[in-house]
Amino acid sequence: MKNMDKPNKIKISAGPVEAEAELNSSGTARAIWKALPFSSTAQRWGDEVYFSIPVSLEAESQKEVVDMGDLGYWPPGAAFCIFFGAHRSAGATKSGQPAR
């Protein structure tokens, strides 16, 4: 969900849990912002939670290793990723890091 009072701030909700994040100024982040609000079903892979989003983009920038708290977009799955531990991608990099 967009926070119209705070540009680039989003709220991520999962049941009773809510977190606020800030998108950066990348093209990927702008496309995600424009697609908000949306709902999806989250899945877990290692130290990552990810879910499909209504955004389909090519890789903008890539990062082989991500840090805890990073957010990212994974083009092959059109997925928004939330990293809650240090993570090294397995064969495909996460890209277009919208926020940290």
Please state the pTM of the whole predicted model: 0.77
User: Closest by alpha carbon to 35, among 79, 66, 71?
Assistant: 79
For residue range 41-85, list pLDDT tens digits in order: 999 998 899 999 999 999 888 888 888 888 999 999 999 999 988
> What span, in angstroms and rounded, lies between the C-alpha atoms of 82 and 68?
9
Q: How far is CA 55 from CA 43, 73, 86, in A?
A: 17, 9, 25
Report the amino acid identity of residue 11. Answer: K
pLDDT given for residue 74 in this prediction: 92
Neighbours of 72 (CB within 10 A): 26
So what's the pLDDT on residue 91? 42
Per DSSP, what are the bridge partners of residue 65? 88
Helix ranges (DSSP H) in the chain: 27-35
**Would you say residue 99 has pLDDT above 80?**
no
